[in-house]
Amino acid sequence: MVFSSNIFLFFFLPLTLLLYYLCPRRFRNALLLAASLLFYAWGEPVYLSLMVFTILLNYLSGRLLGKPEQRPGRRKTVLVLALVRIVLCLFPQNNWIQNSSDLTWGIIRNVPFVFLGAVICWLYYGKRAERNPLRPMWIYILLSFLFYMPVAVAAGILPILGMLMLPKTVCYILMICAFLRVVRSNA
């Protein structure tokens, strides 16, 4: 389903808006989350698990950062690094359409990503002494970055580096397990 399709314009969007305004305020965000996941699953159901993982990761990371008024520097740092990464990925020099890999742009667009990972590792590292299922998260994030960076930078030159995505995936699975422990303990 795409935004310009008849099923979206005349069925999905009106139904979502109707449910949104009929729904009590405290459930509106959950409704929009479910509608968004349904929309994306409609087009590519393969990526639904990745979307759910990313949503959980972002939500729990936001909770970890704490209230913005208590730690304004952390929040601003994460937001600025994320925005810089997004803007760098939008530059035409990345050659996304031709599927060609330029080593220079591979390095440039991943520099803020590495700093972002370092900030998140530092935040979780500070929580390592607490009795908390997210205590080992800093090492999972660090390892996933260490496995990802050679792939992001040089896999176009040396394709065998793509094999490093396997241990990176194991780190992601360990992160999911840690998040599931948190969700179960809070339920």
Judged against a pLDDT cut of 80, whether residue 21 lies above it is answered with yes
Q: Minimal CA–CA distance to 55: which of 82, 85, 72, 34? A: 34
> Do residues 136 and 171 lie in contact, with contact meaning Cβ atoms separated by under 8 Å?
no
Average pLDDT over residues 149-161: 80
Q: If you write DSSP's letter for every residue of the chain in order, what string do you get? A: --TTSHHIIIIIHHHHHHHHHHS-GGGHHHHHHHHHHHHHHHH-GGGHHHHHHHHHHHHHHHHHH--TTT-HHHHHHHHHHHHHHHHHHHSGGG-TTTT---HHHHHHHHHHHHHHHHHHHHHHHHTTTSS-TTTTHHHHHHHHHHHHHHHHHHTTT-GGGGGGHHHHHHHHHHHHHHHHHHHHHH-
Per-residue pLDDT, 92: 66
Per-residue pLDDT, 95: 63
Per-residue pLDDT, 155: 75
Handedness of CA 15, 51, 79, 120 (dihedral sign): positive
Judged against a pLDDT cut of 90, whether residue 19 lies above it is answered with yes
Average pLDDT over residues 76-104: 66
Phi and psi at residue 87, to the nearest 5°: -60, -45
The percent of residues above 70 in pLDDT, for the chain, comes to: 69
Among 32-41, 118-127, 168-177, where is mean pLDDT lowest?
Answer: 118-127
Per-residue pLDDT, 58: 66
> Do residues 87 and 111 lie in contact, with contact meaning Cβ atoms separated by under 8 Å?
no
Q: Where are the domains of the chain?
A: 1-43, 46-186
Higher pLDDT, 180 or 29: 29
Judged against a pLDDT cut of 80, whether residue 115 lies above it is answered with no
Whole-number mean pLDDT of the chain? 77
Rounded-to-integer distance, Cα 15 and Cα 9, Å: 10
Average pLDDT over residues 48-68: 67
Cα dist from 86 to 1, 95, 145, 157, whole Å: 25, 15, 17, 24
Judged against a pLDDT cut of 80, whether residue 167 lies above it is answered with yes
> Do residues 121 and 138 lie in contact, with contact meaning Cβ atoms separated by under 8 Å?
yes
Per-residue pLDDT, 67: 55
Rounded-to-integer distance, Cα 39 and Cα 45, Å: 10
Per-residue pLDDT, 129: 64
Rounded-to-integer distance, Cα 76 and Cα 18, Å: 36
